[in-house]
Structure 1
Amino acid sequence: MSILNDLTGADPGLTPRAVLLRLGAIGGLVAGTAGAFAAVGGWLSPGALDQARIVDRFERVNGPHPGFRRNHAKGLCLAGRFESSGRGARLSKASLFGAGQVTPVTGRIALAGGQPYAADAATTVRSLALRFHLPNGEEWRTGNNDIPVFPVRTPEAFYEQLLAAKPDPGTGKPNPDALKAFFAGHPESAKAAALIKARTITAGFADDTFRSLNAFRFVARDGTETPVRWAFVPDQAATAESAAQSARADKNVLFDAFASAVRRAPVRWHLVATLGETGDPTADATLVWPTDRATVDLGSVVVTATEAEADGNCRDVNFDPLVLPAGIVGSDDPLLSARSAAYSQSFTRRAGEPKTPSAVHDTPASGAGL
């Protein structure tokens, strides 16, 4: 199971070193955070794990697919708006949380994995990546998955897990001995995998919940910082996938169903922030926070249109989780810096590759244009 959401990259033309240096300034991160992780994680040490090796492993596991993301390769673009409830203004100075604010949103729904033409499968991890277009050129880009926790705690563990979970060409399933060895060396991942396996599989994207998984911090106007994790909770009631749905021959069944739903009426998710307290883990995405933590409904994301990725607004966009507006900053989770650096490497590679149409061919929708 892969976890790096939407392996795109930063701006084309940036070298990997330039991207790493830039991380310290993205979204108001405390100076030195990214550099500290780079040193501790070995990113600047010759022969150690770095973003190029992570992307190399994706290509080794999934094979070559020029022009596509190395992970979450199969996707569909979307557009709409964020309607603020005003309740987030006391927690964060980000302009989109102000009372009455309506912020344009573009984004992407996708399935985890590096196979852009694979048939939709209910158990495949789904993702919702969004780009909030704030005033004065600010942006908030966020990538979210429909699992309760990340399956790994560090970039190194992810690198190992990616190979251990590689499907065998003969069976289409991972080697059980390889997975057993990985979990034996990473008991935290074994516990996380159990939580992931136990999750409810919903009928589709529109009734699914998508979580940040990594922790962040909201910064109020008076400087108060609050650790947060957020989730996009569907407005419609979640329903489990039926046997009839799972038996359908349409290989794009999940994407086609979402596009059809949007054509009938806007699809909505509530953006709900969970507020962390002292002692809640912010550097370990394999751990859940206590269920009694306070939550705040920050507003609603309203999707009004979809479009095929080949010509859509999301194909060449980096949904880097460290592109943040004033009022939101990253936490001490090492996966955040690792994801950002790997996105840059992947984007640089695919930027110069020929673009092939996605397997998802969306019918032009009414409503907001892309």
Structure 2
Amino acid sequence: MCNRSSREWLFAAALAVGMSPVMAAEEVTADQVVGAIEDVFGVTQGQRRNHTKGTCAQGEFVGMTEVSAYSRSPLFSGKRLPVVARFSLAGGNPKAPDTAKTPRGMALEFTLPDGGLQHITMLNTPMFGAAQPSTFLAQMIAMKPDPATGKPDPAKIRAFIDSHPDSRPQAEFLASHNPPSSYANSTYFGIHTFKFVGRDGKVTPVRWRFVPRDGEKRLSDAELKSSPPDFLERRLIERTRHGKVHWDMIVTIGEPGDPEDNPTVSWPEGRKEVRAGTLTISSAMPQHGAACEQVNFDPLVMAEGIEPSNDPILMFRSSAYAVSFVKRIGGL
């Protein structure tokens, strides 16, 4: 398991981007961000503050042993590893319509041969909507409903977009791509850069995505208007009843100069890609009482052989997830 705490990684990231650890801790805190999310969506007691609406699933992962040339992680042992999965919609609204043009998530917890854990948390957009935690916080503040109307103030939204260009790539992607017709018909992206560490200590920057063997399928414009507000969970459950669902893990190998600390910037085309394994989902179920419900899918839970980059958003997610987790297990 990774032997550095989330706080240590956060401090290392702060130094890498030219901030002192004190500045990193004081500029934006996890409590501020989680509180801002609550201001936008309200609080559903005992539930996640973000990606509240979700569906549990179970399956397995078989990693390709060829990847051991890049990483000594037991994720790529070639053994069948149990997986607890969660599919979700971004935002804190448990009744968000499945037609909303917002990100979809796939979160995975792998149980490794030695009993250790590996988490992978992804979105169905190739990039994130913020390069710094301060951008995400500013977005939540701008989205806070006006008490007079119960809706966000359009002027504040425009001001946020104008002053935070790092939010635009993801927003443009979502605006130009209809949501998937099923969780099973979407690619999910790791968003961040990670580091594969080989047995010889060599470090290789990588990004990954999980590509559905069922193929990419999106709602048509007509379906976007006519589909019911709740269909994603039902379709995933029905799909698994008809057979197992598979995704291929595709790893992109970074080259010198590729951005490693900005999840809003995609890598250039033409990078070497390696098929690193296959995820198989064999069953899906409502999240209440299921295995995924109480899992805190902290993206910094990593096995030996995989390490985080100095991405400020990646570092920050761990502490924000922790604040949300403590609140929900406390029934708040």
Report the Cα distance in structure 1 between the residues aligned to 2:43 and 2:226, rounded to whole angstroms.
28
Give CA-to-partner distance per residue, 1:262-289, whole Å, 9 cap, x none: 1111111111111111000011111010
* Counterpart pick for 1:321 among 284, 290, 299: 299
Deviation at 1:255, TM superposition (A): 1.3
Kindly provide the amino acid, as one letter, of the partner of residue 213 in structure 2: D
CA-based RMSD: 2.3
Q: Distance in 1 between matches of 2:20 and 2:30?
A: 14
Structure 1 counterpart SS, 2:208: strand
User: Structure 1 residues 344 and 240, CA, compared in 2 at 3 Å: closer, same or farther?
Assistant: closer
Q: 1:277 aligns with which of 252, 255, 280?
A: 255
233, 240, 245: which one pairs with 2:218?
A: 240
SS at match of 2:191: coil
Alpha-carbon distance, 1:248 to partner? 4.6
Aligned partner (choices 219, 230, 233) of residue 255 of structure 1: 233
Q: CA deviation at 1:192?
A: 4.1
Residue 358 of structure 1 corresponds to none
Question: 1:347 — aligned with what?
Answer: 325
Q: Assess, with a 3 A threshold, how the Cα gap between structure 1 residues 168 and 295 changes in structure 2: closer, same or farther.
A: farther
* Map 1:13-92 → 2, pairs under 5 A: 22-23=5-6, 33=12, 36=15, 39-40=20-21, 42-45=23-26, 48-92=27-71
Report the secondary structure of 1:61's partner residue.
Answer: helix
| Residue 101 (structure 1) shift | 1.8
Task: Say which of 113, 128, 132 aligns to 2:106.
Answer: 128
The residue aligned with 1:335 is: 313
Q: Do the aligned residues in 2 keep the contact of 1:87 with 1:297 (CA within 8 Å)?
A: no
Which SS does the other structure have where 1:297 is aligned? strand
Matching residue's letter, 2:23: G
1:167 Cα deviation after fit:
5.5
Cα-to-partner distance string for 1:56-110 (whole Å, 9 max, x where unaligned) = 1111111121111000001111100012232311111011212x32111111000
Q: Quote the offset at 1:165 in angstroms.
A: 3.3
Q: Secondary structure at the match of 1:189?
A: helix
Shift of the alpha carbon at 1:36? 4.2
2:238 aligned counterpart, secondary structure: helix
- Using the alignment, how far apart are the partners of 1:136 and 1:35 within structure 2? 32
Distance between the aligned counterparts of 2:120 and 2:192, measured in 1?
11
1:118 matched to 2:131: no
The reply on whether 1:212 has 2:190 as its aligned counterpart is yes
Q: Which runs of 5+ in 1 are unaligned?
A: 1-20, 355-370
Q: 1:201 aligns with which of 169, 179, 204?
A: 179
Distance 1:197 1:346 in 2: 28
Does structure 1 residue 302 correspond to structure 2 residue 269? no
Aligned-partner Cα distance in 2 for 1:260–1:81: 19
Identity between Structure 1 and Structure 2 (%): 35
Q: Is the 8 A contact 2:101 2:174 kept in 1?
A: no
Structure 2 stretches of 5 or more lacking a match?
none
Amino acid of the residue matched to residue 30 of structure 2?
Answer: Q
Q: Is the partner of 1:42 in helix, strand or coil?
A: helix
Aligned length: 327
- For 2:203, the equivalent position in structure 1 comes to 225
The TM-score with structure 1 as length reference comes to: 0.82
The TM-score normalised by the length of structure 2 is 0.91
The answer for the alignment partner of 2:159 in structure 1 is 181
